[in-house]
Amino acid sequence: MRRAPFPSRRSATVTLLIVNVVAFLAQIVLSSFLHYPTDAYFALSLEGLRHGFVWQLLTYQFMHGGVIHLLLNCWAIFMFGREVEEALGRKNFLTLYFSSGVMGGLVQMLAGLLLGGHFAVPVVGASAGAFGLIAAFAVLFPERPLTLLLFFIIPVNMRAKFLLLISALVALLGIAFPISNIADAAHLGGMFTGSSSCDMPYTGNGRGSGVRHLSTHARWSGSHPTTQCSGGKTNLSWMKICRRKNS
């Protein structure tokens, strides 16, 4: 009689969701109850990088501007991350996700350094990584039909490649006309990293067999601010990510 195989490891996508929720709860306890300056040390900011707080490029990805901000980013990670992880494998998936977050943060900081003002505020949120996953999904499965619920109400049908195009255009418009607390430069950087890391549509049967190349060193691209926010057929809801401005 054969033994049942050992259960597979929890997916990296699910692990990311759990870590984001735990980090958000820790953020609330530290800032609201213990009055610890979490934004100063863990949100991504030009001032922090000037002081050598390079860990902010990672920690800001686990901070959020509120429950809705957290839920929208987790939704995006869950909806797009599962198939990207299956296509690329766990290690490459995590490399792509965190590279998108880091490069998105760097692009946002570069925009803050060059343009100041709206772009120079501290940034929090997982949106650069989430947009990296959306971009990777669109490159791997460009013809996949999606149904988006615009503002969670209006159904809009489109293919994955057009979702990426529209997301990039929205980010560019947000950079050109910065009227909200969305970290658009971070989003654009995350999208560029995610798409440039996967340079061929996925045609295999899982675990990266259909991917020609996944760059282990994501190309320069550019997630959002603290006091800014980074939000068959697949059913989705439109997401916005904000800056602290939330990203």
Is-contact 190 222, C-beta < 8 A?
Answer: yes
Does the pTM of the predicted model rise above 0.85? no
- Cα 222 from chain centre: 12
For the cut 60, the answer to whether the pLDDT of residue 234 exceeds it is no
For the cut 60, the answer to whether the pLDDT of residue 146 exceeds it is yes
Tens digits of residue pLDDT in 153-206: 888 889 999 999 999 999 999 999 988 889 999 999 999 999 998 765 444 444
Domains in the chain (CATH in brackets) are 12-237 (1.20.1540.10)
> pLDDT at position 245, please?
53
Task: Please report, in angstroms and rounded to a whole number, the separation of the first and last CA atoms in the chain.
Answer: 53
Tens digits of residue pLDDT in 148-168: 877 778 888 899 999 999 999
- Strand partners for 198: 214
